[in-house]
Structures are given as C-alpha cells and as structure tokens.
C-alpha cells in the first residue's frame, strides 16, 4: 500500500511510502482435463466481499482469445477491443448494485489472468487489509498481488523461498522478476485508473519510500522515522474522476534525504514537513478535491496543533496526520488527542481498530511508527 499525490499523474514529482497492510492473492490451477468436458471454470473469490464470480473457460475463450496469448514475458496493454469484450463478459454477471465499483477490479482481473495464463481453469482468492477507494492504493496492491501470483504460476517469476503470508517472501524475488510484476500491475492499474503514473504499483511492488517522477524512481532513506497517523473518513470516491495537479513533493523528498545524510534536528524536520503538508492540503482544497469529512478530521487535529492532509486522490478516503516527536513524549496529550479524535463528528460510534501499531513497520521501511484507525462502525 502507499500514500501518493495528485501531481504525479501530470509528470511532477511525488513521494510515496509503503506501509504494512497487505492484499493477498492465492491461485490454484485446476486440471485441464475438465476443459474437454466443457466444465472447466475460472473462479474469483473476493473474500472481503463474500462474492464469488465464475466464468466457463470455453466462454472466456470465445469472448477474449481471438488472438492467441502472446506470452507473459512482456507486459502488454489492454486493447480497446479486448476491453469491450471484457465489459461484455462482465455484463453477463450480476454485480450487486451497491458494489458496481468492483467492476473495475474485475476487469483488471480478467485482463491480467487471461493475458498471463490464457483461459486455463483456476481458482483465485483475494483478501485485503486495505480500505478500497480511500487513497491508500488498494487498486495497485490488488494488481501487484494478482500479477505476482499469475506470473509465478506461469513460471515467469521465481518465488525463491516462497511468498509468505506476511509478504516478506517478496524480498526474495529477484529485481528483474519484480520489475515484470510491476509492469503487468501497471497495465492492470491503467484499467482501473485510466491514466495512472505508476507510482502506486511501483511502491506496492518494491516497498520502502520512493520519490517518483515520470516512471523514474529513487529510493529515499531516512534515518529519523517520521510518525504518521492515517485515518479513514469512510467516504468513498472515484479516483478516475479526481486526478489533477500540484507539486510540493520535491521539497518533501529532499527533506527526508537531507535528514538521512546530515544531522538536522528531528523537530525542525518535522516542523518543515508540517508546513509542506499544510501547503499541500491548502492547494488540494483549492482544487476542490477535499471533502467535508476530511475538513472535520482537519479541525479536530488542528485543536492539538497537529497538521494533516488528504492522501491519494482525495474526495473522502484517508487522511494523513503527522505525529511529531514532541507529542510522543507527552503520553497524556497523545491520549487526550486520540480520545478527542475518536469522539469527533465522524467517529460515531467511536469504534476504532489499531490495524497497525508500531509493529514491524520500523524494521520494514524507514518511514516510522504508524497507526491506522477505522473510524466508522
Ligand atoms: N481487494 C480487492 N478486490 C477487488 N477489487 C479491488 C480490491 N482492491 C481494489 N480493488 C478495485 O480497485 C478499486 C479502487 O481503486 P481506486 O484507485 O479508486 O482506489 P485506491 O487505489 O484505494 O486509492 P488511490 O488510487 O487514490 O490511492 C475498487 O473499486 C475495485 O474495483
Ligand atoms: C492515479 C494515482 O495517482 C492515484 C493516487 O493513489 C496513482 C498513480 O498515479 O499511479
Ligand atoms: Mg488506486
């Protein structure tokens, strides 16, 4: 998962960081023998939604494979014809009215599966820790985990030592293999997003904290962890409709790197970062991609002199809150803040989940302690 920026879609610099929330995809190829009996199916089980979709392989073949699969060594974009066929295939399915937004993910799934494995019968199961459509890159995590599983099954990617459920096995996949996973995931993202820059799938694939500009990535190393709180406003939105411009990220990344290379007081680094976040949020607000639920979170954090900004495309979704070191050394204030926060307008009833709390994050990525809160019941 990641946290990204509007500017990147238009070629400006953006900074994104991975956190320890995962989307898991498992794939079981079924015997081809069933194929001959005409009973072979491709099944997709979306665990978090309690939804299962299935397509007879013969139907997939008829609808999609007018041309043969050209091999998965190179990621290819989805042609308009293929997209139209996928749309027709989905029309044959009943997607519950409240979940029509899933069709973007289903299209990406059908494209990736049939492009990489053809119409082989199989069962794919997906589950995720990430809130969908909330600015944390769930679509990229979906495409990356899917591409990883499919390419491994196709023998294109070698998962040395296996892919563990915590995701740590990825570190054992070779860089070239990860590159291929990333390229296919990007093609999937294009189906879900329209015109993504590729930052989300890149940080999802390689982890860590990156600076990204026009497809080029630089790893950012920070010696002092930056502490962020992420809250989910639970207001949904559509990224395709929201992507627009801005650029403050260059300064953020040099700040992060500066702190890694030179001794600069952690407090001044945090103050500068807070200032940049405030400017960034101000600009995004002017662009009209904020939302009343985001403003509510902002008001609550402001009472404690804490700075926050929306993440991803905005329009609802998640909010990033900078937790300065000074607060961490004042447990009483932190406690009052969290208490107030849970009881703010958005958080009725005040149910909160510490999905991730100071766990493996420090070791994993040099980004710092992080807590993700779910504010709604
Ligand atoms: N686990 C999943 N299962 C099925 N579809 C998914 C899953 N995760 C994401 N998707 C697809 O991705 C869409 C959300 O993508 P979208 O880009 O709008 O939001 P996001 O990636 O969470 O946030 P952002 O791109 O702003 O960081 C969902 O509507 C769905 O179609
Ligand atoms: C569209 C996008 O900016 C959404 C933000 O998370 C992702 C990307 O550029 O790859
Ligand atoms: Mg996305």
pLDDT tens-digit readout, 179-230: 999 999 999 999 998 889 999 999 999 888 888 888 788 888 776 667 777 7
Q: Is the CB of 201 under 6 A from ligand 1?
A: no
- What the block records as the tokens of 247 is 């650029």
Average of per-residue pLDDT across 369-377: 35
DSSP state of 304: T
The answer to ipTM > 0.95 is yes
Is pLDDT above 80 for 376? no
Q: What is the pLDDT of residue 146?
A: 96
Higher pLDDT, 265 or 306: 306
Question: Could you tell me the CATH number of the domain that includes residue 138?
Answer: 3.30.230.10
Q: Are residues 116 and 260 in the same domain?
A: no
144 lies in some domain: yes
Q: Are residues 259 and 173 in the same domain?
A: no
Is pLDDT above 50 for 369? no
Measured distance CA(9)–CA(195) in Å, rounded: 7
Query: Which atom of ligand 2 lies nearest, measured to the CA of 136?
Result: 6
Q: Are residues 205 and 226 in the same domain?
A: no
Average of per-residue pLDDT across 3-16: 69
Range of the domain at 188: 6-210
Rounded to the nearest integer, the mean pLDDT of the chain is: 76
Distances in whole angstroms, Cα of residue 366 to Cα of each of 116, 178, 296: 34, 20, 30
Lowest mean pLDDT among 84-88, 96-100, 237-241, 365-369: 365-369
Higher pLDDT, 149 or 301: 149
Lowest mean pLDDT among 2-6, 224-228, 354-358: 354-358
Higher pLDDT, 3 or 159: 159
Q: Is the CB of 204 under 6 A from ligand 2?
A: no
216 lies in some domain: no
Higher pLDDT, 35 or 59: 59
Q: Is the CB of 9 under 6 A from ligand 2?
A: yes
Q: Are residues 187 and 306 in the same domain?
A: no
Q: Are residues 177 and 279 in the same domain?
A: no
Cα 200 to ligand 3 centroid, rounded to whole Å: 7
126 lies in some domain: yes
Question: Could you tell me the CATH number of the domain that includes residue 326?
Answer: 3.30.70.890
215 lies in some domain: no
Is pLDDT above 50 for 295? yes
Residue 200 annotated to the active site: yes
Higher pLDDT, 57 or 300: 57
Query: Which atom of ligand 1 lies nearest, measured to the CA of 314?
Result: 26
Is pLDDT above 50 for 358? no
> Residue 13, Cα to own-chain centre: how many angstroms?
18
Q: Are residues 185 and 259 in the same domain?
A: no
242 lies in some domain: yes
Which of residues 210, 243, 271 is at a domain's end?
Answer: 210
1 lies in some domain: no
Cα 139 to ligand 1 centroid, rounded to whole Å: 3
Tell me the residue ranges of DSSP E strands in the chain.
14-17, 23-29, 41-46, 51-56, 122-128, 209-213, 216-219, 228-232, 308-310, 318-322, 370-374
Cα 232 to ligand 3 centroid, rounded to whole Å: 15
Higher pLDDT, 267 or 246: 267
Q: Are residues 183 and 270 in the same domain?
A: no
Measured distance CA(214)–CA(102) in Å, rounded: 28
Q: Are residues 231 and 201 in the same domain?
A: no
Could you give the number of structural domains in the chain?
2
Distances in whole angstroms, Cα of residue 149 to Cα of each of 74, 109, 124: 16, 12, 9
Is pLDDT above 80 for 327? no
Q: At what angle do helices 292-302 and 331-342 cross, to 10 degrees?
A: 150
Q: What is the pLDDT of residue 377?
A: 26
Which of residues 153, 180, 210 is at a domain's end?
Answer: 210
Which of residues 178, 210, 242 is at a domain's end?
Answer: 210
Q: What is the pLDDT of residue 114?
A: 94
Q: Is the CB of 101 under 6 A from ligand 1?
A: yes
Predicted TM-score (pTM) of the model is: 0.79
Is pLDDT above 90 for 368? no
Per residue in 145-175, pLDDT tens? Answer: 999 999 989 988 876 555 544 544 454 577 7
Higher pLDDT, 126 or 194: 126
Q: Are residues 22 and 152 in the same domain?
A: yes
Measured distance CA(44)–CA(95) in Å, rounded: 13
Q: Are residues 23 and 158 in the same domain?
A: yes
Residue 154 DSSP SS3: coil
Cα 96 to ligand 3 centroid, rounded to whole Å: 21
Q: Are residues 42 and 181 in the same domain?
A: yes
Q: Are residues 335 and 291 in the same domain?
A: yes
Q: Which of 8, 129, 132, 289 to mutate to test the pocket of ligand 1 (most atoms within 8 A of CB)?
A: 132
Q: Is the CB of 313 under 6 A from ligand 2?
A: yes
Average of per-residue pLDDT across 251-261: 67
Question: Which ligand lies nearest to the CA atom of residue 134 in the structure?
Answer: 1
Cα 293 to ligand 1 centroid, rounded to whole Å: 20
Query: pLDDT tier at 347 (50, 70, 90 boundaries)?
Result: very low
């Amino acid at each position: 998962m990641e946290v990204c920026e509007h500017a990147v879609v238009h070629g400006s610099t953006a900074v994104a960081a991975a956190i320890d929330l995962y989307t898991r995809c498992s794939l079981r190829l079924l015997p081809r023998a069933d194929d001959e009996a005409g009973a072979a199916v491709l099944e997709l089980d979306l665990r978090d939604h309690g939804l299962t979709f299935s397509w007879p392989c013969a139907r997939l073949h008829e609808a999609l494979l007018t041309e043969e699969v050209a091999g998965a060594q190179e990621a290819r974009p989805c042609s308009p014809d293929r997209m139209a066929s996928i749309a027709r295939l989905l029309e044959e399915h009943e997607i519950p009215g409240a979940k029509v937004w899933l069709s973007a993910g289903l299209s990406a799934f059908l494209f990736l599966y049939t492009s990489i494995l053809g119409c082989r019968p199989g069962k794919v199961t997906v589950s995720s820790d990430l809130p969908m459509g909330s600015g944390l890159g769930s679509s990229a995590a979906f495409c990356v985990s899917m591409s990883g599983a499919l390419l491994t099954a196709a023998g294109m990617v070698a998962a040395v030592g296996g892919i563990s459920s915590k995701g740590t096995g990825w570190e054992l996949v070779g860089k070239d293999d990860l590159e291929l996973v990333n390229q296919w995931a990007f093609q999937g993202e294009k189906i879900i997003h329209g015109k993504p820059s590729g930052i989300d799938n890149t940080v999802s694939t390689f982890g860590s904290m990156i600076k990204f500009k026009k497809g080029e990535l630089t790893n950012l190393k920070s010696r002092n962890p930056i502490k962020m709180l992420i809250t989910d406003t639970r207001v949904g939105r559509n990224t395709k409709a929201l992507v627009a411009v801005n650029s403050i990220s260059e300064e953020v990344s040099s700040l992060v790197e500066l702190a890694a290379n030179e001794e600069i007081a952690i407090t001044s680094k945090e103050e500068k970062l807070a200032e940049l976040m405030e400017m960034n949020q101000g600009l995004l607000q002017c662009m009209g991609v904020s939302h009343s639920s985001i403003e509510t979170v902002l008001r609550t954090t402001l009472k404690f002199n804490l700075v926050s900004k929306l993440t991803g495309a905005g329009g609802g979704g998640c909010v990033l809150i900078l937790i300065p070191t000074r607060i961490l050394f004042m447990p009483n204030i932190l406690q009052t803040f969290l208490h107030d926060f849970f009881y703010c307008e958005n958080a009725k009833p005040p149910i909160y989940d510490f999905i991730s709390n100071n766990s493996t994050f420090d070791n994993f990525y040099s980004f710092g302690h992080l807590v993700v809160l779910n504010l709604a019941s």
